[in-house]
């Protein structure tokens, strides 16, 4: 019973964000393709885990370098890279991707498919306290990274030239990595300082993390509004 409640608490945040983004699309996408995108995101846990294990074998020297490497390369690059790759393989040539907001919708469904499984694994290991924190920050974070990725992915999909297309695809990868890596680094840095009993210094990355979270929400809402207006 407790395990079931933990699983439900892990799934609910992603479902709420999916409903939020689904309602932003005025011309709804086929449910089969949305479900396919979500399931593909869930399956991504396997190649992402393999990639992270592989990259973890060659860490750099120095504590700060290790934190940066783990935050931006091991975690952010692995996760956002696989998300974009599978997003493109699933939707790039689909006739259903026929307006800019669609790119955001599909990217969020892929991203939150992954976040759902990741969240279940964390919550089953660490309990309800972890469930609450991840519901407030980690799961919405993956949804917001998906909005940023989907915005530029759609820009690439409808770009008039190959050069413009490649530029927008690069942004669809690099900006989510930048946001995701910054998220991770601030948490890693805070945990490292607190473990060293530097409690006041450990609070500073948390404040920066919260500021980044708010900024990312503002950016995401603007991107959604811009693509929604184009799609009307």
Residues 84-135 have pLDDT tens digits of 999 999 999 999 999 999 999 999 999 999 999 999 998 888 877 777 778 8
Q: What is the mean pLDDT of residues 139-146?
A: 96
Calculate the average pLDDT of the chain: 91
The two three-digit tokens of residue 114, written as one number:
């992954």
Which has the closest alpha carbon to 27: 87, 92, 106, 98?
98
Q: What confidence tier does 64 reach under pLDDT thresholds 50, 70, 90?
A: confident
* pLDDT value of position 200: 66
Q: Determine the length of the chain.
A: 232
* pLDDT value of position 199: 61
The ranges assigned to domains in the chain are: 2-231
Q: What is the 3-state secondary structure (H, E, C) of 135-165?
A: HHHHHHHHHHHHHHHHHHHHHHHCCCCHHHH
The helix (H) or strand (E) run that includes residue 16 is: helix 2-24
In degrees and rounded to multiples of 5, residue 116 shows phi and psi of -60, -50
In degrees and rounded to multiples of 5, residue 29 shows phi and psi of -80, 155
Give the integer Cα–Cα distance in Å for 91 and 32: 12
């Amino acid at each position: 019973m407790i395990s079931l409640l933990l699983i439900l608490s892990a799934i609910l945040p992603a479902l709420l964000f999916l409903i939020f983004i689904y309602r932003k699309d005025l011309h709804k996408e086929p449910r089969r393709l949305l479900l396919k995108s979500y399931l593909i995101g869930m399956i991504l846990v396997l190649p992402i885990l393999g990639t992270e294990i592989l990259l973890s074998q060659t860490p750099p020297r120095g504590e700060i370098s290790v934190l940066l490497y783990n935050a931006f390369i091991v975690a952010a690059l692995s996760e956002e890279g696989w998300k974009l790759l599978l997003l493109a393989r699933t939707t790039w040539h689909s006739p259903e991707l026929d307006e800019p907001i669609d790119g955001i919708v599909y990217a969020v469904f892929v991203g939150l498919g992954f976040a759902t499984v990741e969240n279940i694994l964390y919550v089953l290991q660490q309990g309800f306290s972890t469930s609450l924190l991840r519901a407030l920050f980690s799961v919405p974070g993956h949804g917001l990274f998906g909005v940023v990725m989907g915005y530029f992915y759609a820009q690439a999909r409808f770009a008039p030239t190959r050069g413009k297309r490649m530029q927008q695809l690069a942004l669809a990868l690099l900006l989510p990595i930048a946001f995701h890596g910054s998220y991770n680094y601030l948490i890693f840095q805070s945990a490292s300082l607190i473990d060293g009993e530097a409690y006041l210094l450990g609070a500073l990355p948390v404040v920066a993390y919260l500021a980044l979270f708010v900024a990312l929400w503002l950016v995401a809402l603007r991107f959604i509004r811009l693509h929604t207006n184009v799609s009307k």
